[in-house]
Amino acid sequence: MVVYTSADSAGVATSVAKYIVNAQLNALKTKKTFTIAVSGGSMGKVLKAGLIDSPEIASQVQWDKWNVYLSDERLVPLDHEDSNYGLFISLVVDHLKDAKPSVHPIDVSLLTGENGQVDGSDAAKDESIAEAYAKVLPSDGVFDLILLGCGPDGHTCSLFPGHALLEEKSRSVASIRDSPKPPPRRITFTLPLLAKAEAIAFIAEGAGKAPVLEEIFNDPSSKLPCKIVTDLDLPVSWFVNDAALQGTNVISSKY
């Protein structure tokens, strides 16, 4: 694990963007495409600030060679306010003037029930959406880079503390019907899929994240999802601002 710190959000966005560009360049040395997975929340704003708003960095991004996937998704229509796909399109893709990435959404034809959401009584339908998404992932299941967030409770993707999905051993994408954070029905990458990645990078900002980061970085016995992912046998980086590191005892550097 490596922790990179910046004074503020602008610095985090710049550092993350430089890291992503380097991952892209390394991937394209041997392949024709760059496969990356993103999460929701504030990540889209960070990516826009770092990859689009900075002319120097923007000129290095080969968007037309990107295959973008969602590390988790809410089971709602793509234009729903809770859709991570919709969020990425509005915050990132809609601001690109020329070349654009291929972004892979869930199969909305499988959504049923009131307001276009999944029928709450149909667990098999939830899982069919997860299975369908697994089939559009890279054939070898290996991502060049997976970008993740960290919730105040230590969750990442839609993997929550103490949840049974943390014990999943075979499926690469699974459904969750009881997310503690609404909406309750989602699909998510699982630990076996995350463990295959070439690299994983977390983004966490703000003093509100300091308590959970203190546990992730300093408590070897922690069972938080973010801690489990951080300890995977692959390169894991954290990009944080100074406020998020308050009270933590961790060595950090600049990217």
Pick from 211, 198, 67: which is nearest to 145 by CA? 198
Pairing between β-strand 34-38 and β-strand 66-70 as defined by DSSP bridges: parallel
The pLDDT-based confidence of 111 (bands split at 50, 70, 90) is confident
Q: Is residue 220 classed exposed, middle or buried when 0-12, 13-18 and 19+ CB atoms within 10 A define those classes?
A: exposed
Structure confidence by residue, pLDDT tens digits, 224-253: 999 999 999 999 999 999 999 998 989 999
Give 52's DSSP letter: I
List C-alpha distances in Å: 214 to 9, 31, 32, 180: 20, 38, 39, 22
- Between CA 215 and CA 137 the distance in angstroms is 32
Class for the domain spanning 2-206+214-245: alpha beta
> What is the pLDDT, as a whole number, of residue 54?
93
Average pLDDT, the chain: 94
Kindly state the tokens that stand for 120.
């709450």
Pick from 147, 168, 169: which is nearest to 156 by CA? 147
Backbone angles phi, psi at 132, to 5 degrees: -65, -40
Do 101 and 61 contact (CB within 8 A), yes or no?
A: no
> What is the pLDDT, as a whole number, of residue 124?
80
Backbone angles phi, psi at 159, to 5 degrees: -105, 110
Pick from 100, 35, 92, 42: which is nearest to 69 by CA? 35
The pLDDT-based confidence of 119 (bands split at 50, 70, 90) is low
Structure confidence by residue, pLDDT tens digits, 72-106: 999 988 999 999 999 999 999 999 999 999 999 99
CA 221 to chain centre: 24
Structure confidence by residue, pLDDT tens digits, 133-180: 999 999 999 999 999 999 999 999 999 999 999 999 999 999 999 999
Q: Which amino acid is at 136?
A: V
> What is the pLDDT, as a whole number, of residue 29?
98
The pLDDT-based confidence of 217 (bands split at 50, 70, 90) is very high
Q: How far apart are the first and last CA of the chain?
A: 14
Structure confidence by residue, pLDDT tens digits, 26-77: 999 999 999 999 999 899 999 999 999 999 999 999 999 999 999 999 998 8
Pairing between β-strand 236-241 and β-strand 2-6 as defined by DSSP bridges: parallel
